[in-house]
């Protein structure tokens, strides 16, 4: 078994470049890291190009034997601790990284789902990852994102999804306004989150609704606000005027869950 010991190795340089969006797009690959994410990728049958294992990292001993058995089915590359530390993106790495192929999912919106979550230029990778995790947790299988939204394959986004990225179809909209006008034709109402309204998120029925979550600093863009059928806000009784985008998505998402559970009990 050969172990890569040089940081100047061409493949190691390739992995380092994958931290940059332009290079990820060019190579059609992205990085995941850690036991849980790699285990989920294998379980979801994601296309794994290579698995990189630290040959002398202490934490690789914690990799379960059944996972090591599955990992052995893929192309494995071993590197020294010094090399691994040069490619990891986390503070306390577990000694295992995988290079995945970016899939080309179906870009057609599934209008059979009750609601659509739509992101209008969400910028923070942590927010985006957490939102994807929330969408997965409430039983949705897709999310619409504007072209100006953070890159979903950013390592921080991928880590924050905790595996949801493998189950949620991310549909990037070249022109979000145009896409939402098409969504309207399928009998969906466009609901924009806004502070400039008296209507609460608890005042609407979550069926055939496209819920638009806005940019962290500026909220939903004026262009999208103008085509929205309804505007809603999360009622707050404290002094804080607005919430983190991922927190807001979670509150709205679980109001949808609450209403869905009530319907099944009737």
Report how far residue 152's alpha carbon sits from residue 129's, in angstroms, rounded to the nearest whole number. Answer: 8
Q: Which residues pair with 100 in a beta bridge?
A: 30, 48
Provide the pLDDT for residue 263.
85
Residues 96 and 123 in one domain: no
Is 253 part of a structural domain of the chain? yes
CA-angle at 242, arms to 241 and 245, nearest 5°? 175
Is 110 part of a structural domain of the chain? no
Provide the pLDDT for residue 104.
64
Task: Please provide the DSSP assignment of 203-219 as one string.
Answer: GS--SSEEEEEPBTTTB
Residues 48 and 11 in one domain: yes
Is 259 part of a structural domain of the chain? yes
Residues 151 and 63 in one domain: no
CATH number of the domain where residue 29 is located: 3.30.1330.30
Q: E strand or H helix at 83, and its extent?
A: helix 81-87
Beta strands in 9-114 (DSSP E): 29-33, 48-54, 76-79, 96-101
Provide the pLDDT for residue 92.
86
Among residues 58, 76, 101, which one ends one of the domains? Answer: 101
Provide the pLDDT for residue 241.
76
Residues 138 and 185 in one domain: yes
- Give burial (CB, 10 Å; 0-12/13-18/19+) of 69: exposed
β-strands 115-119, 76-79 pairing:
unpaired
Among residues 70, 101, 132, which one ends one of the domains? Answer: 101
Provide the pLDDT for residue 111.
96
Residues 34 and 150 in one domain: no
Report how far residue 102's alpha carbon sits from residue 30's, in angstroms, rounded to the nearest whole number. Answer: 7
β-strands 48-54, 96-101 pairing:
antiparallel
Provide the pLDDT for residue 150.
95
Is 108 part of a structural domain of the chain? no
Give the range of the structural domain holding residue 157, as residue numbers without chain letter: 115-265
Provide the pLDDT for residue 130.
96
Report how far residue 167's alpha carbon sits from residue 123's, in angstroms, rounded to the nearest whole number. Answer: 22
Residues 129 and 226 in one domain: yes
Is 106 part of a structural domain of the chain? no
Whole-prediction pTM: 0.90
DSSP, res 190: E
For residue 10, the SS3 value is: helix
Residues 53 and 95 in one domain: yes
* 53 in Cβ contact with 77 (< 8 Å): yes
CATH number of the domain where residue 218 is located: 3.40.1280.10
- Give burial (CB, 10 Å; 0-12/13-18/19+) of 18: buried
- Per the structure, the count of domains in the chain is 2
Provide the pLDDT for residue 64.
85
* 256 in Cβ contact with 114 (< 8 Å): yes
Residues 203 and 159 in one domain: yes
Among residues 78, 101, 124, which one ends one of the domains? Answer: 101
Is 109 part of a structural domain of the chain? no
Is 67 part of a structural domain of the chain? yes
Low-confidence ranges of the chain (pLDDT < 70): 1, 58-61, 104-106, 266
Residues 188 and 79 in one domain: no
Provide the pLDDT for residue 93.
87
CB atoms within 10 A of CB 13: 11
């Amino acid at each position: 078994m050969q172990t890569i010991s040089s940081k100047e190795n061409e493949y190691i340089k390739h992995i380092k470049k994958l931290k940059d969006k332009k290079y990820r797009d060019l190579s059609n690959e992205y990085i995941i890291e850690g036991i849980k994410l790699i285990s989920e990728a294998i379980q979801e049958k994601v296309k794994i190009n290579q698995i990189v294992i630290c040959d002398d990292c202490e934490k690789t001993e914690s990799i379960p034997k059944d996972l090591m058995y599955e990992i052995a089915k893929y192309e494995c590359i071993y590197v020294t601790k010094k090399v691994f530390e040069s490619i990891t993106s986390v503070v306390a790495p577990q000694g295992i990284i995988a290079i995945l192929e970016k899939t080309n999912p179906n870009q057609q919106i599934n209008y059979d789902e009750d609601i659509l979550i739509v992101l209008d230029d969400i910028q923070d990778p942590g927010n985006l990852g957490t939102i994807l995790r929330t969408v997965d947790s409430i039983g949705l299988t897709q999310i619409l994102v504007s072209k100006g939204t953070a890159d979903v394959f950013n390592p921080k986004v991928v880590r924050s999804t905790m595996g949801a990225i493998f189950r949620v179809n991310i549909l990037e909209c070249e022109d979000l306004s145009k896409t939402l006008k098409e969504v309207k034709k399928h009998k969906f109402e466009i609901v924009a989150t806004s502070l400039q309204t008296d209507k609460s998120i608890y005042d609407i029925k979550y069926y055939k609704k496209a819920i638009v979550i806005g940019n962290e600093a500026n909220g939903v863009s004026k262009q999208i606000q103008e085509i929205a059928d309804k505007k809603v806000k999360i009622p707050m009784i404290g002094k804080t005027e607005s919430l983190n985008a991922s927190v807001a998505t979670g509150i709205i998402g679980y109001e949808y869950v609450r209403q869905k559970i009530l319907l099944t009990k009737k």
